[in-house]
Amino acid sequence: MQSALQARSKLPDVGTTIFTVIGQLAAEHNALNLSQGAPNFAPDEALVDGVTKAMRAGHNQYAPMAGIGALRAALAAKVETLYGVHYDPSTEVTVIASASEGLYSTISALVHPGDEVIYFEPSFDSYAPIVRLQGATPIPIKLSLTDFRVNWDEVSAAITPKTRMIIVNTPHNPTATIFSDADIERLKALTRNTDIVILSDEVYEHVVFDGAKHHSMACHRELAERSVIVSSFGKSYHVTGWRVGYCLAPAELMDEIRKVHQFMVFSADTPMQYAFVEALSNPQSYLGLSAFYQHKRDLLARELSESRFELLPSEGSFFMLARFRGFSEESDSDFVLRLIRDAKVATIPLSAFYTDGTDSGLIRLSFSKDDETLIEGARRLRSI
Ligand SMILES: Cc1ncc(COP(=O)(O)O)c(C=O)c1O
């Protein structure tokens, strides 16, 4: 249908995301998909049964706006055990309809027109568009092109009186790096005595490798007091299609976030919330995740050890970067298209995670796949 109206776009430069484009191409070419972070294996049967049980028990209507009380209490208890800080379930924990919704509600609630928001590139794709939709300015700071660490001196130089928020993401998508003690200390020092809010995207909080520690903002009281933490059940329980996550913040900030959440979605899916209460009663359901994914990381790395790719270290998340610049001068997008067409395997060019399309000859591989897919994907990548 042709509209008689002209939509005045708020995001004129935003088109279909690279994930959709690559997904469609992968399907057309019957390519194996190592591009998306969505697992291709089934979640725990007991979790699925938990949802069915909740539906049959009649939990099919609106949940309370902030989430069912039992889930908020279970989350507060988990966070207190893991990170040693108490969030009040009634005022400081909110169940959200996905981490994506949590990011949107938080930025929309706390960032005003004219504000500046610092974030790091390469980055998850929603941060900058959400900031722009508020009439605010996203300020991207590039991670080092060699090891993808934050240059805190650059952050310091980028902070102005208009800086309202810094968005951090550890473990990091797409580079698979994690924050160190030194990163935390610099972040503390830079935000001390400012009114800067930290939005901490911790959707991969339970996927940290080689015995390393996840630095949740919750672990550091000084940071927790100015942080909104966003996490996702979808990532931790292999159910990215169930749009449920959670958000932690001091009551003053959470109060504002809930105002947006309430008018955007009102509440997250009810039966899933009941199932997650049960799942959280077994800490192994999240504590076992690092070992589960470390096995997959190591399997993919081993299978690619004889390939021409240089693999970058993966410290956490479901991802690994692979450098092809050593054997090809193609742009990363052209290289990814060739991989889909010729090797029948789909990956993501790292340039897709930059607003200016920085291309350093790297692709992102996802290992949230069953072992057979990883072995076959690596075999196809070795053929290039
Ligand atoms: C860093 C990061 N943040 C947020 C999200 C969104 O999570 P959700 O599926 O819960 O909306 C993703 C999903 O890929 C992600 O990688």
Q: What is the pLDDT of residues 44-59, one digit of tens each?
A: 999 999 999 999 999 9
Q: What is the CATH number of the domain that holds 293?
A: 3.90.1150.10
pLDDT value at residue 296 = 98
Task: Examine the domain organization and report whether 304 and 367 are in the same domain.
Answer: yes
279 CA to centre of own chain: 21
pLDDT above 80: residue 18:
no
> What are the φ/ψ torsions at residue 225 (nearest 5 degrees)?
-65, -20
- Band of the pLDDT at 342, cuts 50, 70, 90? very high
pLDDT value at residue 14 = 87
Domain that holds residue 300: 18-43+289-382
Q: Indicate if ligand 1 lies below 6 Å from the C-beta of 203.
A: yes
Is the pTM higher than 0.85? yes
Calculate mean pLDDT across residues 248-275: 98
Task: Examine the domain organization and report whether 333 and 344 are in the same domain.
Answer: yes
Calculate mean pLDDT across residues 207-223: 97
Q: Indicate if ligand 1 lies below 6 Å from the C-beta of 240.
A: yes
Task: Examine the domain organization and report whether 294 and 377 are in the same domain.
Answer: yes
pLDDT above 90: residue 36:
no
Task: Examine the domain organization and report whether 146 and 262 are in the same domain.
Answer: yes
- DSSP per position, 285-326: HHHTHHHHHHHHHHHHHHHTTTSSPEEPP--BSSEEEEE-TT
pLDDT value at residue 297 = 98
Number of domains in the chain: 2
Residue located nearest, by CA, to atom 16 of ligand 1: 173
Task: Examine the domain organization and report whether 206 and 262 are in the same domain.
Answer: yes
Alpha-carbon distance 252 to 261, whole Å? 15
Task: Examine the domain organization and report whether 279 and 199 are in the same domain.
Answer: yes
Q: Indicate if ligand 1 lies below 6 Å from the C-beta of 37.
A: yes
Atom of ligand 1 nearest to the CA of 204: 1
Mutation to probe ligand 1, out of 17, 172, 200, 203 (largest number of atoms < 8 A from CB): 203
Q: Which of 286, 318, 333 is the last residue of a domain?
A: 286
Task: Examine the domain organization and report whether 154 and 254 are in the same domain.
Answer: yes
Task: Examine the domain organization and report whether 347 and 297 are in the same domain.
Answer: yes
Q: Which of 244, 271, 286 is the last residue of a domain?
A: 286
Calculate mean pLDDT across residues 2-31: 87
Alpha-carbon distance 156 to 175, whole Å? 22
pLDDT above 90: residue 265:
yes
Query: What's the CA-to-centroid distance between 234 and ligand 1, angstroms?
Result: 8
Query: What's the CA-to-centroid distance between 326 and ligand 1, angstroms?
Result: 31
